[in-house]
Amino acid sequence: MHAIPLDGHFDYGAQAMTSAISNTYARLPVAFTHGKGIWLWDTNGRRYLDAMAGIGVSCLGHAHPKLVEAISQQAARLIHISNLYQVPEQEALAQKIAEISGMTEVLFGNSGAEANEAAIKLARYFGYKKGNDLPTIITMESSWHGRTLGTLAATDSEKARTGFGPLPEGFIKVAYNNLNAIKEAAEKEPRVVAVLLEVLQGEGGIRPSDISYMQDLRKLCDERGWLMMIDEVQSGIGRTGKWLAHQWANILPDVVVLAKGLGGGVPIGAIAARGPAAGVLGPGSHGTTFGGGPLVCAAGNATLKTLEDDQLLAHAVKVGGHLKSALEKALRGVPGVREVRGQGLMLGIELEKPCGVLVGRALEAGLLINVTRDRVIRMLPPLIITEDEADEIVKIIVPLIKAFNAEQ
């Protein structure tokens, strides 16, 4: 295994030439053999604090005994069965999602992108049934909804979109956290059927929306007959201290999109719907071979039960608040630091200059982080993290930031 250079530079192209894996990721030069709790060990036996949880996926950390047990027992009984038949594990997970979200029906898929694609299809079918010839969805600047053609069209990333046109039409992007921008867009396009947004943008740089904005948007959607669709792929499943981040605003959307933490590490996605969005999709309008299979739903059921039994939502508020306060205190007045922001255990540190090299430097120091929007250090640690472990993050990342900002 290659040593990780402190300047953050590594010949990814040379590394890729030795592998049969498609070169779609600039992978860091490290491979992990096992994990426990919030810790990972590489092939050399070195330990790392995982402050990313697989980009918000491993909410219970690594090798959690309750999740391991549920997966093992289900694998010994039944791994896969077609959705042509009833799947009891799927029924149970759908019921629990409906309970925690306030929705009335759930459709399963295999990832966040696939779930967002299903939400887009639902909105279009909703409009089609009303005679709309081009059902249009309003999305946000700095948004991220996935890499399928439909979700790319909804996503505000020219880098991700370049080379994949023509993308599906029927999307309007507006300024984030700005109700007037939505109203102005709708004045120019009468075929709007839905608004799709993240209430706490992850890939967009850990950007929260205002509670008043969310509440006013809910009212606007009701007035106009639009579906309010919230992408909770990264912010949901307890990460902010509520089951779903929009619940801090005491609103009920019409569609909620879930994935990442839902299965504790296995690939699963879902959309949950209520009100005018419920019942839109029927037999033949959408389907999936693998979505909602027995194995992943057993994992989902165990994940949600453990989050609830171990009171990990309240824990995310407590430890997330501790980590945010500690970072703010340690970085107060440090040149080059703009802001520490986020909620619960979904936190970002925005610097004044691009800081991608810090990913490699943090890895060398035994900490897993990543950087979004070029200059925002993102942290999404497992929800089981303790305050002492959060303090370890501060001890590692703060000196790296100070040294980086001191460079000319």
Q: Would you state the pLDDT for residue 5?
A: 47
Say whether both 71 and 183 belong to one domain. Answer: yes
Domain shared by 233 and 372, yes or no: no
Backbone angles phi, psi at 92, to 5 degrees: -65, -40
Please indicate, yes or no, if residue 244 is contained in any of the structural domains: yes
Residue 267 sits in the same domain as residue 326: no
Claim to verify: residue 71 and residue 131 sit in the same structural domain: yes
Is residue 150 a part of any domain in this protein? yes
Q: Are residues 202 and 264 in the same domain?
A: yes
Task: Examine residue 84 and state whether it is found in any structural domain, yes or no.
Answer: yes
Residue ending a domain, among 292, 309, 326, is 309
239 and 362 part of one domain: no
State the CATH number of the domain containing residue 135: 3.40.640.10
DSSP 8-state assignment for residue 135: -
What pLDDT, on the 0 to 100 scale, is given for residue 115? 98
Same domain, 347 and 261: no
Name the phi and psi angles at 34, rounded to 5. Answer: -165, 165
Q: Are residues 287 and 337 in the same domain?
A: no
Indicate whether 201 and 281 sit together in one domain. yes
Residues 368 and 285 in one domain: no
- In-domain check, residue 303: yes
Phi, psi of 224 (to 5 degrees): -95, -10
In a domain, 400, yes or no: no
Q: Do β-strands 346-351 and 337-343 pair in parallel, antiparallel, or remain unpaired?
A: antiparallel
Q: Give the pLDDT score at 144.
A: 98
Identify the H or E element spanning 258.
strand 255-258
Residue that is last in its domain, among 256, 289, 309: 309
User: Is residue 185 domain-shared with residue 279, that is, in the same domain?
Assistant: yes
Of 294, 309, 324, which residue is a domain's last? 309
What DSSP line would sit under 384-408, residue for residue? T--HHHHHHHHHHHHHHHHHHHH--
Per-10-residue mean pLDDT, the chain, length 408: 45 57 94 98 98 98 98 98 98 98 98 98 98 97 98 97 97 98 97 98 98 98 98 98 98 98 98 98 95 98 98 98 98 97 98 98 98 98 98 98 94
pLDDT at 3: 45
With b for 16 or more beta-carbon neighbours within 10 A and e for fewer, the 179-189 pattern comes to bebbeebbeee
State pTM to two decimals: 0.95
Per-residue confidence (pLDDT) for residue 10, from 0 to 100: 44
Q: In this structure, is residue 60 part of a structural domain?
A: no
pLDDT of residue 19: 86
- 6 within domain boundaries: no
* pLDDT value at residue 1: 40
Nearest-angstrom CA–CA distance, 122 and 336 = 44
Which phi and psi (to 5°) does residue 346 adopt? -130, 90
The answer to whether residue 58 is domain-embedded is no
Where in the sequence is the domain holding 157, given as residue range(s)? 65-309
**How many distinct structural domains can be found in the chain?**
2
Shared-domain flag, residues 260 and 133:
yes
